[in-house]
Structure 1
Amino acid sequence: MPAMLEHTNFTVSDPAATAAWMEHIFGWKIRWQGDAMAGGHTKHVGTESHYVALYSPGTPAPATEDSYKTVGGLNHIAVVVDDLDATEARVKAQGFISGNHADYEPGRRFYFHDSDGIEYEVVQYD
């Protein structure tokens, strides 16, 4: 069996707020939450087999560079959904702005940025 990506971990300003919109938009659930390094807090949100770890050190520093120009920067997170239009409606209902729509082989996609400036790609395959 080839290796499988289990999770990714990134810093957010408010793990509870980010987890809440992820639960609403993507239908994910909190798998674990607790204290983390540097006096911080982490929430794991996702499915039974895959998740994102949302970490905050308590007082995170704001991003200073464009991630697409920074070696090791987080460029975007891609999420596959069954209903792109319904997901986009939930994204907009959370106050996020969608853009960069594209139809391509083998599917359709759009992108949005959350309140921390993290970019998400949402894709539906045919």
Structure 2
Amino acid sequence: MAMLEHVNVTVADPAATAEMLCDLFGWRIRWEGDAMVSGHTKHVGGDDFYLAIFSPGETEPGDGRYQRRGALNHLGVVVDDLDGAEEKVKAHGYTPVSHAAYEPGRRFYFTEENGIEIEVVSYA
């Protein structure tokens, strides 16, 4: 069976987004460096996965898709302590919405400053 290794998303400020994700979810910066079209990327996650957080430079790529921020539906993140995660999300100034409890878990969503919706779910 194949597994998902990473998702690449365009943001305004990779450093700020990486810091927020590391603080909220206990992730770490696995790599960072120069990227295509004079941009910059940070890989944030764990040993088996990461989120590639990209910001373009001055030169626009051919089709412009890497210039659009948040071009996906949402990211899903599993946590052990949903209530604790929600408190951290609020402390960062985000508003949790769409709380739901249904088998097999509980969840809520929030949208960060790049327009990326993040679903936080717990199966505990």
**TM-score normalised over the length of structure 1:** 0.88
Report the 3-state secondary structure (helix = DSSP H, G, I; strand = E; otherwise coil) of the residue aligned with 1:122: strand
Cα deviation per residue 1:79-104 (whole Å; 9 max; x = unaligned)? 00000000010011111111000000
Cα separation, 2, equivalents of 1:106 and 1:43: 32
Q: Is the CA contact (8 Å cut-off) linking 2:10 and 2:68 kept in structure 1? A: no
Cα deviation per residue 1:12-40 (whole Å; 9 max; x = unaligned)? 00000000000100000000000000110
Following superposition, the deviation at residue 107 of structure 1 comes to 0.6
Corresponding position of 1:91: 89
Report the 3-state secondary structure (helix = DSSP H, G, I; strand = E; otherwise coil) of the residue aligned with 1:8: strand
Equivalent residues, number: 117
Following superposition, the deviation at residue 62 of structure 1 comes to 5.8
Corresponding position of 2:74: 76
Corresponding position of 1:33: 32
Runs (4+) of structure 1 exceeding 2 A deviation are: 58-63
Report the 3-state secondary structure (helix = DSSP H, G, I; strand = E; otherwise coil) of the residue aligned with 1:5: coil
Corresponding position of 2:23: 24
Return 101-110 or 54-63, whichever deviates more: 54-63
1:46 corresponds to which letter in structure 2?
A: G
Following superposition, the deviation at residue 58 of structure 1 comes to 3.0
Pair 1:14 & 2:16 matched: no
Corresponding position of 1:70: none
Cα separation, 2, equivalents of 1:26 and 1:84: 11
**TM-score normalised over the length of structure 2:** 0.89
Unaligned stretches of 5+ residues in structure 2: 59-65
Unaligned stretches of 5+ residues in structure 1: 68-72
Cα deviation per residue 1:42-96 (whole Å; 9 max; x = unaligned)? 0000001111000000368565xxx8xxxxx410000000000000100111111
Q: Kindly, what percent of the aligned residue pairs are identical?
A: 59
Q: CA RMSD in A?
A: 1.6
Corresponding position of 1:122: 120
